[in-house]
Structure 1
Amino acid sequence: MQRSHLSLIRVGGMGSGTARCFCSESKPCKRSRVQFDEAEYSGEKACLFDCLPDDIVLSILCYLSASADCPSDLVSVMKTCKRMNRLGKNPLVLEKATLKSISIRVENWSPPAHKFLKRCVRAGNVEACYLLGMIECYCLGLRGDGCHTHTRKGLSYLLRASRRGHAAATYSLAVIFFNGTGMGKSQENLSTGFSLCQRATQLGYVDAMRELGHCLQDGYGVAKDVPRGRRLLLDANTRELAVSRSSRPVASAAALPGEGSSRSEYCYLHSDFGCDVPAPEVHPANRFMAEWFQTRQNLGESVRLCANANCSRPETRRFEFRVCSMCALACYCSRACQAVHWKTVHSAACTAAIAARRVRIFNNALARFE
């Protein structure tokens, strides 16, 4: 029978220096009697949790932080008592916090949440570095007040995560240098972006492999090499397919998603493998950006986002992103996002938009003759 440490309390009448475990049984368990120092606890009732050393409590909190599924798992424990609150802020606990335990939603964003992420960054949490770097660079950096300061802080956080081998942070820095995010069009550095993209590819990041493959095929920032770019795209598709098959079954091209599931929920492989794999889960940083600017657009602010739903990066200046050359309605932060969005969603939407525009032009011309 499992019994919590909090259920072991001092009971009068049981004899000095003993503790009794209150469980569901009618009789006390003789094996549950615990000896402790009588001089240390002179009260009639004392909680044995207070006599646990901080090292044991820290080890428990570290395990909880490394296995939490949502921020409330860790926050609720820290709100238990002052000791838990103090030990929960220990760098050892914050360093082991998982991405799920620090993924903050827009509706819960506040100065204390911002301070908590900064504390995790100072503790050396790589995921917190990436998450806070994206928020500082793309969300807080566009508000107007101290925007350049937030952008510089975001870049420093992303650089710190990249130096520690975080693949997503390395690829985000590559996109920033490709577009000159927060710096201006004259500050675009294609060679640095290509080098960072190569580094993210070596770390096994699929989006970086796609971007690098398209850069080689188009000769963007590097000498044109179509065969090498094609091989990188095939490698990216192979890796994506392997990850998908290891996590869930993959449907064949003939067996398209069933009724009730939209085409956008599936990510079609760029190669000729003929498979539809489920779309990857949106990263909390990208989800935060999408929710952040959706709220701002409802308030009347106009910001163009990357049309790829798994990205949702915003423009930091006008005409920063590339647009679809056919309909000019969708914009993209990278070639990889454009290719993925074209395969999953935009090919049908773009064709419909072009057809509607042709009909509108024909009707206008016909009205002039009438």
Structure 2
Amino acid sequence: MCGQNRGMKRRKASSAAVVGGERATTNRKRSKISPEFTNKPDFLDSLPDDIVLSILSNLSSKAECPADFINVLITCKRLNGIGVHSMVLSKASPEMLAVNAKNWSESAHRFLKLCAESGNVEACYILGMIRFYCLENRGSGASLMAKAAINSHAPALYSLAIIQFNGSGGSKNDKDLRAGVALSARAAFLGHIDALRELGHCLQDGYGVKRNIAEGRRFLVQANARELANVLTTTPSAVKNSEWLAWNPMPHHRHIAAGTSCPLLSDFGCDVPCADPHPANKFLTDWYAAKDGVLGPGLRLCSNAGCGRPESRRHEFRRCSVCGAVNYCSRACQGMDWRSRHKSECVPAMRWEEEEGENVAAAGNINGNGGEEVNNGFVEIQNEIAES
């Protein structure tokens, strides 16, 4: 009985506080806030803009994901204003620009565009890849990649080389093999492993350049050595387990193994773990995965899981000359997919029917002059290569 009376008294007291205009608990919480804290100045307000700008620039260059930077921008109005300064955005890291394909929106597009206009070459490349392949805005995408390539951005140079080799965005007559070789050479000079491997195959096969087998082998060995060095540097534990160094070609590929008992001397390199894909390639992969890989009629994705490039026309990519079941945008993608997956799946099949307009062979000697929209941004790069 006493307990019930006490409960009724508490409820009455609470009701009285509400009628009075405010709960007692609210007054209790407010009384805990000490005036000495509320009267203290905000030290952030006392920092000059130059110092805050320098701090945010350093943060953007080391951000590991977009959220690292966005969480700072939403802290206060001042940080939000300084955070979009061109100096901060120009130093944004590739990880900070790694927009998720499933979260793609107009605001994400504007953010990448703002970073690109601030002079961030990574943003130019990522947005260029998205526009060229996903949004199918070929001219604008190629122009942005060209802007990055002029600033010696190796992945952009190599991506433009793939576009030239395949005539992407145009007809098969728009291929320019010599331009592709020149771009690959420039990217290889900057240490791009895939470009080194592509250039080596071009020299071995006489594809867009005068055939030089010895020089081609040298570039392939250099690509294999660089790839192995990268794995050993980033994954020290790989030194303890060197099983992936053994190269065991499939029976129907024994002719390739002649004289190449060492994997460093092979066309495909060591069976090392594949490097993490570039944010641009990750976006392409996720973009088309959300569509269940469905493209236009007769179009296919590159079979290398870490690439994500789609065909812009039927039979644009080369197919495996043994089984014909897979297709690749480049020889570098073919080598990576062979090591990681296809070597255990490739089975000789009856010669598949030759289809009109196919691009199966790695060798050829086609030099087109079309693709004006795509090549507009490429003229400046050719001038850069000529001067260097």
Q: 1:71 deviation in Å?
A: 0.3
1:288-341, CA deviations, whole angstroms, 9 ceiling, x for partnerless residues? Answer: 111111112367866411111121211011111111222221111112222332
Query: What SS does the aligned partner of 1:118 have?
Result: helix
Name the CA distance, whole Å, in 2 between partners of 1:186 and 1:275: 35
Alignment partner for residue 192 of structure 2, among 205, 224, 232? Answer: 205
Unaligned runs of 5+ in 2: 1-33, 247-261, 353-388
**Which residue identity lines up with residue 335 of structure 2 in the other structure?**
A
The yes-or-no answer on 1:271 pairing with 2:265 is yes
1:63-106, CA deviations, whole angstroms, 9 ceiling, x for partnerless residues? Answer: 11111111001011111222111111000110111001110111
Alignment partner for residue 253 of structure 1, among 240, 243, 254? Answer: 243
Q: Note the 1:1-370 alignment, pairs <5 A.
A: 46-141=41-136, 150-248=137-235, 249-250=238-239, 251-253=241-243, 271=265, 275-297=270-292, 303-351=299-347, 354=349
Give the TM-score taking structure 2 as reference length: 0.71
Provide closer, same or farther for how the CA distance between residues 347 and 299 of structure 1 changes in structure 2, counting only shifts above 3 A.
closer
Q: Is the 8 A contact 2:86 2:118 kept in 1?
A: yes
**Which residue identity lines up with residue 123 of structure 2 in the other structure?**
A
**Which residue identity lines up with residue 62 of structure 1 in the other structure?**
S
CA-based RMSD:
2.5
Counterpart of 1:360?
none
1:174-228, CA deviations, whole angstroms, 9 ceiling, x for partnerless residues? Answer: 1101111112211111111111111111111000010011111111111221111
Name the CA distance, whole Å, in 1 between partners of 2:184 and 2:129: 17
Name the CA distance, whole Å, in 1 between partners of 2:335 and 2:68: 38
Query: What SS does the aligned partner of 1:280 have?
Result: coil
Name the CA distance, whole Å, in 1 between partners of 2:337 and 2:202: 17
Provide closer, same or farther for how the CA distance between residues 155 and 237 of structure 1 changes in structure 2, counting only shifts above 3 A.
same
1:1-59, CA deviations, whole angstroms, 9 ceiling, x for partnerless residues? Answer: xxxxxxxxxx86xxxxxxx7x7xxxxxxxxxxxxxxxxxxxx95643322322112111
Q: Is the 8 A contact 2:178 2:209 kept in 1?
A: yes
**Which residue identity lines up with residue 70 of structure 2 in the other structure?**
V
Higher relative contact order structure (alpha carbons within 8 Å, sequence separation ≥ 6) = 2
Provide closer, same or farther for how the CA distance between residues 300 and 204 of structure 1 changes in structure 2, counting only shifts above 3 A.
closer
**Which residue identity lines up with residue 332 of structure 2 in the other structure?**
A
Q: 1:271 deviation in Å?
A: 2.5
Query: What SS does the aligned partner of 1:316 have?
Result: coil
Higher strand fraction: Structure 1 or Structure 2? Answer: 1
Name the CA distance, whole Å, in 2 between partners of 1:254 and 1:300: 35
Runs (4+) of structure 1 moved beyond 4 Å?
A: 43-46, 272-275, 298-303
Q: Is the 8 A contact 2:245 2:272 kept in 1?
A: no
Name the CA distance, whole Å, in 2 between partners of 1:91 and 1:254: 45
Name the CA distance, whole Å, in 1 between partners of 2:295 and 2:175: 30
Higher mean alpha-carbon deviation, 317-326 vs 106-115, is at 317-326
Unaligned runs of 5+ in 1: 1-10, 13-19, 23-42, 142-149, 257-267, 358-370
Query: What SS does the aligned partner of 2:310 have?
Result: coil
